[in-house]
Amino acid sequence: MHRLKQLVHRSPHVHLRTTSLCSSLWQHLRFKSQAPAERYGLKKRFSTAEATAETREPARMREKTLTMATLNPQVKAVEYAVRGPIVIKAGDIERSLQEGVKQPFTEVIKANIGDAHAMGQQPITFVRQVVALCCFPELLDSPSFPEDAKQRAQRILQDCGGQSLGSYSASQGVDCVRQDIADYITQRDQGVPADWNNIYLTTGASDGIMSILKLLVSGQGKSRTGVMIPIPQYPLYSATISELEAVHINYYLDEANCWALDIEELQRAYLTAKQHCQPRVLCIINPGNPTGQVQSKKCIEEVLHFAYEENLFVMADEVYQDNVYSPDCQFHSFKKVLYEMGPEYFNNVELASFHSTSKGYTGECGFRGGYMEVLNMDPEVKAQLVKLLSVRLCPPVSGQAAMDVIVNPPKVHEPSYAQFAKEKSSVLDALAHKASLTEQILNSVPGIKCNPVQGAMYAFPQIFIPPRAIQEAQELSIAPDMLYCLKLLEETGICVVPGSGFGQREGTYHFRMTILPSPEKLKVLLEKVKEFHLRFLAEYSQLEPQISKTNQDQHREMSNQPD
């Protein structure tokens, strides 16, 4: 390099070329001396371990794009009590038990959600056989599977792309499954016709409910869609309404009359809401969740007449249609009642009804299978519904297969019928027994009052909470029944959901519990609830020197004790 510089000074005429050559050589030598990553323009920041070792300076954190300040406010408004804070706390306690932390109990009993198999219910053999054959068709050659299961699996596979359950289906669902659902509805409703073109397979009933609500929500200000929902209600409805920025219209079920639906209360809620929104939708859950009531045919007629008069779209959540336990009650589908009211009603009232694999006697929650039947929808809107459903491609095809088995079970003459009928009746008989047991034991506890569990899978007892406990809850900025349920969980390991998560009349308190645990475990659960409630009353009554006359009366009334 030194000799090159001398040459430049002696020969100015070669200055430009030499300078260029010098520069090139210098760059080459510098390139050779660099680390491999640097030679090709890769800075050391890509070698994070090395950079950290050399600089030992903390990396500057970039401001996040998604924060609570920028989060969609409608997502913040969504609440889902069934998997809310109580359940998160139960999970924490369960993990601590597994790690050996001492608790005043040995297990957490999750009575917060209607998950039958998680509570120990065994699958229906025929459902699993057909789905297994669909998933692994090589089993069709196995003598271990009955012929009626094989025939159903083959029929489903023939309607699947490539004869595989792993292919997408049409957005509305597999054709033969939709046809079987239409046949099932016709048979269930004693000959009322069902058109398979009105059937849409869904990812559980929830997917269908949310899809229909998306179609219905529109307008601004006083023209914004109002959605009428029962209180207490299943939190899916309030959560979806919040997410869509629709208007909640609460109508209260009559707790004193076994949670019956009162038409005068519907009218009150409707007329009040008309002042600030446009009521367009009426939601009914029958049998009820969380309340366990089964609506009478007369009640359903009144509801449908009201919907007809006020031009409301009716959404009938009928996922518990197989879960009716009271001998005095019977399930009536909204569609069948609408048909029997005559063509003026049947050809005009817009109705979407929903069913699912998750409930009934199968309890196949994980398959996420379901369907909806939609009546009297405007043809152009129907096309928009298909478009909306096509965005999510299709529901799980394995769930569609499970739904098919539920609506097309073994017939009397088929080889699987005897075992299927035995398993089905065993599940439903056990649920009926547990419904009665739950009601009896809860009603034996002073300060707890439980309506008959006529259907579904839950009890929703009213609980007396002393004024001192209410005051403590207010100081903690939580609902009084949330305080109650937290203490119940911490002292007994029992996880139930506070009634405030479902809605309730002001000044009343409840919790929802499932009746799904085994009879033995359910007895333990109910006895623990009884013992806890008595301790809770004693603790907070001692702290309360003078309970008001109103609270004394309420306590006596709920306890069914004489003055």
Whether the per-residue pLDDT at 544 is higher than 60: the answer is no
- For the residues 538-562, what does the mean pLDDT come to? 53
Contact status, residue 529 vs residue 515, Cβ threshold 8 Å: no
Q: What distance in Å separates the CA atoms of residue 442 and residue 452, rounded to the nearest whole number?
A: 11
CB-based burial, 58-94: b 16+ in 10 Å, e otherwise: eeeeeeeeeeeeeeeeeeeeeeebbebebbebbeebb
Please give the pLDDT value at position 421. Answer: 97
Whether the per-residue pLDDT at 409 is higher than 80: the answer is yes
pLDDT tens, position by position, 74-118: 776 666 555 668 888 888 998 999 888 899 888 999 898 889 998
- Strand-pair partners of 255: none
Lowest mean pLDDT among 32-36, 396-400, 427-431: 32-36
Please give the pLDDT value at position 61. Answer: 80
Residue 285, φ and ψ in degrees, nearest 5: -115, 115
Beta-sheet pairing, 199-203 with 313-317 = unpaired
Please give the pLDDT value at position 546. Answer: 41
Please give the pLDDT value at position 71. Answer: 81
Please give the pLDDT value at position 63. Answer: 84
pLDDT tens, position by position, 502-518: 999 999 999 999 999 99
- For the residues 10-29, what does the mean pLDDT come to? 44
Please give the pLDDT value at position 235. Answer: 85
Q: Which strand ranges, in their side-by-side order, compose the sheet holding 458-459?
A: 458-459, 511-514, 497-498
- For the residues 135-140, what does the mean pLDDT come to? 95
Q: Which pair of tokens denotes residue 544?
A: 């309360």
Which of the four pLDDT bands, split at 50, 70 and 90, describes residue 29? very low
Please give the pLDDT value at position 60. Answer: 79
Cβ partners under 8 Å of residue 7, min gap 6: 14, 18
Beta-sheet pairing, 351-356 with 313-317 = parallel
Please give the pLDDT value at position 85. Answer: 81
Report which DSSP code applies to 22.
Answer: H
Q: What distance in Å separates the CA atoms of residue 67 and residue 112, rounded to the nearest whole number?
A: 31
Whether the per-residue pLDDT at 33 is higher than 80: the answer is no
297 compared with 11, residue with greater pLDDT? 297
Domains of the chain: 73-108+419-541 (3.90.1150.10), 167-417 (3.40.640.10)
Q: What distance in Å separates the CA atoms of residue 345 and residue 433, rounded to the nearest whole number?
A: 38
Report which DSSP code applies to 258.
Answer: T
- Strand-pair partners of 279: 226
Lowest mean pLDDT among 192-201, 257-266, 343-352, 551-560: 551-560
- For the residues 244-271, what does the mean pLDDT come to? 95
Please give the pLDDT value at position 87. Answer: 86
pLDDT tens, position by position, 196-253: 999 999 998 999 999 999 999 999 989 999 999 999 998 888 889 988 999 999 999 9
Q: What distance in Å separates the CA atoms of residue 65 and residue 18, rounded to the nearest whole number?
A: 53
Q: What is the DSSP string of 62-86?
A: PPPSS-TTTS-HHHHH---GGGSHH
- Please tell me whether the peptide bond between 232 and the residue prior to it is cis, using omega within 30 degrees of 0: yes
Q: Count Cβ atoms below 10 Å from residue 449 Cβ, excluding itself.
A: 18
Please give the pLDDT value at position 1. Answer: 46
Task: Cite the beta strand spans of 359-410 per DSSP E.
Answer: 369-375
- For the residues 120-133, what does the mean pLDDT come to? 96
Q: What is the DSSP string of 81-137?
A: GGGSHHHHHHHHHHHHHHTT---SSS--EE-SS--TGGGTPPPPHHHHHHHHHHH-G
Q: What distance in Å separates the CA atoms of residue 154 and residue 173, rounded to the nearest whole number?
A: 17
Please give the pLDDT value at position 57. Answer: 65
Whether the per-residue pLDDT at 528 is higher than 50: the answer is yes
CB-based burial, 230-251: b 16+ in 10 Å, e otherwise: bbbbbbbbbbbbbbbebbbbbb
Please give the pLDDT value at position 114. Answer: 87
Please state, rounded to an integer, the average pLDDT across all residues of the chain.
Answer: 86
Residue 214 burial class via C-beta count within 10 angstroms: exposed 0-12, middle 13-18, buried 19 and up: middle
Contact status, residue 361 vs residue 121, Cβ threshold 8 Å: no
Tokens 């889902």 correspond to: 80
pLDDT tens, position by position, 38-77: 444 444 444 454 445 455 666 778 888 888 888 877 776 6
Contact status, residue 369 vs residue 396, Cβ threshold 8 Å: yes
Report which DSSP code applies to 280.
Answer: E
Q: What distance in Å separates the CA atoms of residue 140 and residue 98, rounded to the nearest whole number?
A: 42
CA-angle at 438, arms to 432 and 439, nearest 5°: 95
Q: What distance in Å separates the CA atoms of residue 162 and residue 283, rounded to the nearest whole number?
A: 40
Q: Is the dihedral of CA 270, 274, 276, 280 positive or negative?
A: positive
| 3-class SS of residue 225 | strand
Q: What distance in Å separates the CA atoms of residue 351 and residue 369, rounded to the nearest whole number?
A: 20
